[in-house]
Structure 1
């Protein structure tokens, strides 16, 4: 089992770095294609940063490990709004605008609720189609709000800043001096690396669950979800240190939106003949309650204090024994 754990960790490392290059290469390609920077920020970067979660779940569902697939998405949704948001708020109070609380956050909470109910009923091609349609509708709303919002320029600036930055491990050449063919190759290699890392992580996580004699969904919402949520934790803490509170909240709730709708659709379609991916009642209810708790705390005063951060961290610690006992 030690070898399987080490290989799974290696898969997670490959997944993390490959996803970084996939998002960077894709966003730079979109920029060179003169796509609206707001679209790059909302769609390309937003979807790309959630790629580890739904690609890992998609690979798991395609392999027949549907419990692992559902557990990963559900676990990431819970982690983002308890552990990750709580750690970010411990570093300093998080204040958000009323506009974010009125529009983006309720949309993300609604996506989590929809996913929770459909995952409890069972993810298949039909429920996957429902989630895909809901995802397209949510994307339309996000783009419409972004283009009409006063923060339009801010989103465009964030996207431009992202595309000009380097990956965590990158070539020592300024972006402006890279040849034209480099970014497409970067994106393709990043996609290949994400799929390879996901395969290593999923296959060994599944074997670990079998060796331990525990349901795959438990490994999914604990070890796998924690691993795929690490990029969100890093980017959230960095954004908090820069004082970009709206970006912190937007990234985490946005990640849950994409996880629930796009990730849920991917799991539903990938399950195919392997059967439906189902979440337990406890897991579905916990997803809804943690999303509602984070929303309520942020709505109360439009800020998240260190005391409220401790409430979120306590909620995460309390959910684990409950879910593990089911």
Structure 2
């Protein structure tokens, strides 16, 4: 969720005298920053479990299907810290911070699927996650992400003056593509011109379309207590968990940023590794919970949904700041966007070929994504150095 280039971008803003000052916890001692960092991570983890459970219950009552549940409800909720940071940065005129916040985390967020694949098995002998998920709808989601990221890269090359009523063509096109992606996912979840509605042999048992929860998993997921709780209380739990994610995510990022500064660590490396992983806790928590509930597809859909949704925030940032946002992207931001598209494409191929073999406890596609990301981080150092 957090940008590899995000931390250095903020520090550049602070040095240049920008009104936006992200390091609001700089005055605290290092030990207290660490306490805030760990405590915020714990809150995010617990809130993520509740988000997954309540999202599943909302899906069940409103018949959204896990595709739209992951693409809209859960994806937006787990990215609330990014929304808050983007709004704050844009309101202060620091659009470069908003760009780094949006683009930098997409690649790392894709790597979260590696973690879910490696540690999210319900049975020791279970095949890799992309084999179990086995839904062409997820391939549609992945292609939507790649299409949006392609527009992002192209949009960074357009001049800054192409805006009307604070709207730029690239930001509007991204929103249009996101909406089209939602419509395609919804259609794919109900019908695709493939055998057995796109169901794959050997996948997690499911009823139809995109949802892959087994009957046993469904019983665990939507418990008797949740059924009796009612939609109103379920929505209240979801809202409370989302608010906790928003507040804790903000303090997690601020404390991590301040601690790295006091330790003298490179903002780039810290942001791309420790801080990026820590602020991806909502996706990890909700993903592992979804897998435990028997909904493998929701775990992947949450990641793809969040990655498709984040660039939509460029429209919001432009409306608030009154500036063209994408043209201010740094070389590191553009580089990470290309890496994110590559990682997403690898998983799209994995979903099509469904490798059964595990290497180092993960699927072959997850191993390829992990290697590509690590090589990409090495290249990022060269690009921004």
| Contact map agreement 1:236 1:248 (CA 8 A) in 2 | yes
Per-residue CA distance 1:215-271 (angstroms, 9 max, x = gap): 87765544443123234345656777899776665454344223344x55455556x
Among 280, 296, 310, the alignment partner of 1:229 is 280
- Structure 2: give runs of 5+ residues left out of the alignment: 1-29, 122-126, 200-206
Among 101, 108, 112, the alignment partner of 1:79 is 108
Instruction: Give, in angstroms, the shift of residue 59 of structure 1.
Output: 1.4
Among 230, 241, 266, the alignment partner of 1:190 is 241
State whether structure 2 residue 342 is matched by structure 1 residue 292.
Answer: yes
Going from structure 1 to structure 2, the CA distance change for 1:238 and 1:13 (only over 3 Å counts) comes to closer
| Contact map agreement 2:141 2:181 (CA 8 A) in 1 | no
CA distance in 1, matches of 2:188, 2:265: 44
Going from structure 1 to structure 2, the CA distance change for 1:276 and 1:101 (only over 3 Å counts) comes to closer
State whether structure 2 residue 371 is matched by structure 1 residue 314.
Answer: yes
Going from structure 1 to structure 2, the CA distance change for 1:16 and 1:179 (only over 3 Å counts) comes to same
| Contact map agreement 2:346 2:368 (CA 8 A) in 1 | no
Q: Which residue of structure 1 aligns with residue 42 of structure 2?
A: 13
CA distance in 2, matches of 1:215, 1:276: 26
Instruction: Give, in angstroms, the shift of residue 317 of structure 1.
Output: 1.9
Among 147, 156, 162, the alignment partner of 1:110 is 147
- Structure 1: give runs of 5+ residues left out of the alignment: 168-172
| Contact map agreement 1:58 1:69 (CA 8 A) in 2 | no
Q: How does 1:1-326 map to 2 (within 5 A)?
A: 1-22=30-51, 24-25=53-54, 28-29=57-58, 31-32=60-61, 35=62, 37=63, 39-51=64-76, 54-64=79-89, 69-82=98-111, 84-85=113-114, 88=117, 92-93=127-128, 94-95=130-131, 99-100=136-137, 103-118=140-155, 126=168, 127-149=170-192, 150=197, 153-156=208-211, 158=213, 165=221, 174-178=225-229, 181-208=232-259, 211=262, 220-233=271-284, 250-261=301-312, 263-269=313-319, 272=321, 276=325, 278-296=328-346, 299=349, 302-304=353-355, 305=357, 306=359, 307-325=364-382, 326=384
Instruction: Note the aligned Cα RMSD (angstroms).
Output: 4.4
| Contact map agreement 2:136 2:188 (CA 8 A) in 1 | no
| Contact map agreement 1:60 1:69 (CA 8 A) in 2 | yes
| Contact map agreement 1:54 1:73 (CA 8 A) in 2 | no
Per-residue CA distance 1:95-123 (angstroms, 9 max, x = gap): 37584586333222112222344467689
Instruction: Give, in angstroms, the shift of residue 302 of structure 1.
Output: 0.9
CA distance in 2, matches of 1:61, 1:174: 37
Q: Which residue of structure 2 aligns with residue 170 of structure 1?
A: none
Instruction: Give, in angstroms, the shift of residue 159 of structure 1.
Output: 10
| Contact map agreement 1:19 1:49 (CA 8 A) in 2 | no
Moved more, 23-32 or 13-22: 23-32
Between structure 1 and structure 2, the one with the greater Rg is 2
TM-score, normalisation: structure 1: 0.72
| Contact map agreement 2:48 2:282 (CA 8 A) in 1 | no
For CA contacts below 8 A with separation 6 or more, give which structure has more relative contact order: 1
CA distance in 1, matches of 2:116, 2:236: 36
More helix by share: 1
CA distance in 2, matches of 1:219, 1:66: 22
CA distance in 1, matches of 2:380, 2:87: 25
